[in-house]
Amino acid sequence: MDQDRIKWVIQNCRLLAEIGEHFERTQPFRGLTIGTGIHLEPKTVALLLTLRRGGAEVVATGNLNTTQQSAIDYLSAHRVRVIGGPTSDPAEHDAYLWELVRLGPQLLLDNGGDLFVRYLEEPYDGLLGGTEETTSGRMRLEPLRDRINLPLLVINDSPIKQFAENRHAVGQSVLESFIRITNKSTNGKRVTVFGYGACGKGVAANFRNAYSVVSVVDSNPILRLEAMLDGFLVPDRDEALRTADVVITVTGAEGVVTAHDVPLLKDGAILANAGHFPREIDAAGITAAAGGRVTVLTDGHMVNLAGPRPLGNSIESMDLGFALQARCLEAVALGTVGPEACVVPVPRVIDESVAAAFVAL
Ligand SMILES: NC(=O)c1ccc[n+]([C@@H]2O[C@H](COP(=O)([O-])OP(=O)(O)OC[C@H]3O[C@@H](n4cnc5c(N)ncnc54)[C@H](O)[C@@H]3O)[C@@H](O)[C@H]2O)c1
């Protein structure tokens, strides 16, 4: 069943299939090892196998609490080396990341800055550069730009990723996950969304489309105005918590909702985090302080990747994002971007070629 799902995903990653065919001919990664620290689930399997088709040795480890054993099994059967297994123990995860970095891959595909930060702690010869998938990773790596001094392209900053994945797909999959995990309706529920960036916009829109009454809280007054003009309620933070049946954080920030907020929350309130790090919601503190009055889904880990039977974002959105990944790693491997491109967005020429290829599918 799980293996069938992986095959379904690979079949439907049509852009990656095209790129894979191209890579088979051009072998951009011949002789290179690519180390990846990205969620191990069916769509990343499609990406990693595409990189292999380009001649790379691929060494992969997952992220905290999102690794799927079936993805590991599939990758291992297709000559991708996987370090470690599913874990929610930060110390164990840390050890896996170190094991990967100490192999000295020439290219790093990072997710949250974990690999490049460790590389700087123990630099090695031969690293050509790589990619970073997320906003959280960009925020962590930006101040380290001078020390990294290698091409490092941030996928999240591509406009394609912003609208195709963050806005449309994260919104859909957070809604799908809420319904799947809770088996509750969304109709007439008061939903408060923290964060009105690309992801928050999609989450807010999808819950509104599912007949919820949505409030938005964003610390940026300009985005608060935008949310208001988009037709959302924009109460102050306390009011937004007091009235909420459902609270969703998607900010990238730390301690957005904590145990201090518990007295504000309604009995039966449901909290979920869709931001990269579980620390957006202090799940342990809230659960202890609430004494069973409120529920934090998936212990505050990303609700659309960490819950039971997680599907993550739609195949099409990930196909687009991973096509950007594959093309950016190709550019770093071939030296068409240099160290001046350190922690910068995807080059426009790559965005345009990926967009055109998707439209032409
Ligand atoms: N779940 C997923 O599948 C998935 C996919 C992509 C990105 N992400 C993660 O989602 C998070 C948000 O991503 P994004 O691209 O929307 O980022 P973004 O920077 O565009 O938006 C974040 C917004 O949160 C606001 N914010 C920050 N702290 C706040 C606080 N304490 N209270 C209220 N608002 C606050 C900021 O002003 C900003 O507008 C990141 O952690 C990112 O890594 C998750």
pLDDT of res. 1: 63
Averaged over successive runs of 10 residues, the pLDDT of the chain (361 residues) comes to 89 98 98 95 95 98 85 95 91 96 98 97 98 92 97 95 93 97 98 97 98 98 98 98 98 96 98 92 96 96 88 92 98 97 97 98 94
Q: What is the whole-number distance in angstroms between the Cα of residue 136 and the centre of ligand 1?
A: 8
Q: Is any ligand 1 atom within 6 A of the Cβ of residue 194?
A: yes
Q: 82 phi and psi, to 5 degrees?
A: -110, 130
Torsion angle (degrees, nearest 10) of CA 11, 14, 18, 21: -10
Q: Is any ligand 1 atom within 6 A of the Cβ of residue 23?
A: no
pLDDT of res. 340: 96
Q: Is any ligand 1 atom within 6 A of the Cβ of residue 117?
A: no
Q: What is the pLDDT of residues 104-136, one digit of tens each?
A: 999 999 999 999 999 999 999 999 999 999 888
Ligand 1 atom nearest to CA at 255: 31
Q: Is any ligand 1 atom within 6 A of the Cβ of residue 253?
A: yes
Q: Is any ligand 1 atom within 6 A of the Cβ of residue 158?
A: no
- Where are the alpha helices (H) located in the chain, listed in sequence order? 2-12, 14-26, 42-53, 69-77, 90-101, 114-121, 135-141, 145-148, 159-160, 170-182, 198-209, 221-229, 237-242, 283-290, 303-306, 315-334, 348-359
